[in-house]
Amino acid sequence: MKLPAILQEPVSFTMDSYRFRLLQCKHGIYAYCVQPHYHGAHCYELNYTLDGRGTLVSSGVSYPIEPNIFYLHGAGVEHSQLPAEHHSITDYCITLEVCPLFAKHTSAKPSPGSVFYNMNFFYGKDDGRLGKILEEIHREIESPSIGRDIYLQGLFQQFVITVVRYYCKDSIDDDQYTTLDLNEYRNMIILQTMLQEHATLTLEQLAEKIQCSPRQMQRILKQDYGKSFRELKLYYNMSKASVLLTSTEQSVPEIAAICGYSTPEQFYHAFKHYYQTTPGKYRASHKKNLPGA
């Protein structure tokens, strides 16, 4: 069973002067490397492992992936996932937007909303509480019934507070459905398109996907990702090359073609300029750090 990749009517509620929106909720299996990527402004992603083993690399640090492990990444935090050899990983993947409703917050006491909003990264192991909530969210979206809107809002608030309690290692004392707005939709499409099509993607093609001009597309990328289209495409090309060099035995010319370069020489020059080393040296120095190497 899989949940919709992008919810047509995302769950939305307010907590402690912050607006929360569940944008994406997926349940699936992957047996391949999820290449390094990061999310745009106000965007958070939580992965909860149901089965399988592997390695999470977040901001250059490795963490084991195993059942009941969950990890959250905020905007701008680079991360990738690598299943262990002969393993696939089954997980829930939740993507949400969190925005402050006011410019300043004067409360001196931490609140669940403010703690969640200020989390850039968290890695933890569930004792069963979070998994039960995610299972119930999955079941409710898959088979909706009377009172669905209110019930999902309640489940999602439990989800946020449970993550915050794990993060704080302590308890904190303390309606509506909307359609996905244009900015949220654009960010989701940009991320998914870059991950899947970066090798051959043009600025015009990306702009067409979200129905704006190439000039507007450049402004959106600078605002939300701090990079031009060329810089963002290079980032994804080099991230893909890094994954292939360290997790496969494919040759440099094969990797060059996969990453969209017309000749191995063009790829070699771009890679060396980006990483300050050659593809061969990069592979030799990084493969020894992989699990089982």
Q: Select, from the ranges 77-81, 102-106, 265-269, the one with the highest average predicted confidence (pLDDT).
A: 265-269
pTM attached to this predicted model: 0.63
Tell me phi and psi for residue 98, to 5 degrees: -130, 120
pLDDT tops 70 at residue 287: no
Q: What is the pLDDT of residues 173-225, one digit of tens each?
A: 443 334 445 566 677 678 778 877 888 999 999 988 877 899 999 998 998 88
CB-CB contact of 246 with 292 (8 Å): no
Domains and CATH numbers, the chain: 11-177 (2.60.120.280), 182-287 (1.10.10.60)
Q: Hey, which residues does 27 pair with through a beta bridge? A: 92
Name the strands in the sheet holding 18-30, side by side, starting at the edge strand that comes first in the sequence. 121-125, 69-73, 43-51, 89-100, 18-30, 11-15, 176-177
- What contacts 206, CB < 8 A, 6 or more positions away? 190, 193, 194, 217, 229
Q: What is the pLDDT of residues 59-102, one digit of tens each?
A: 878 899 999 999 999 988 889 998 988 889 999 999 999 998 87
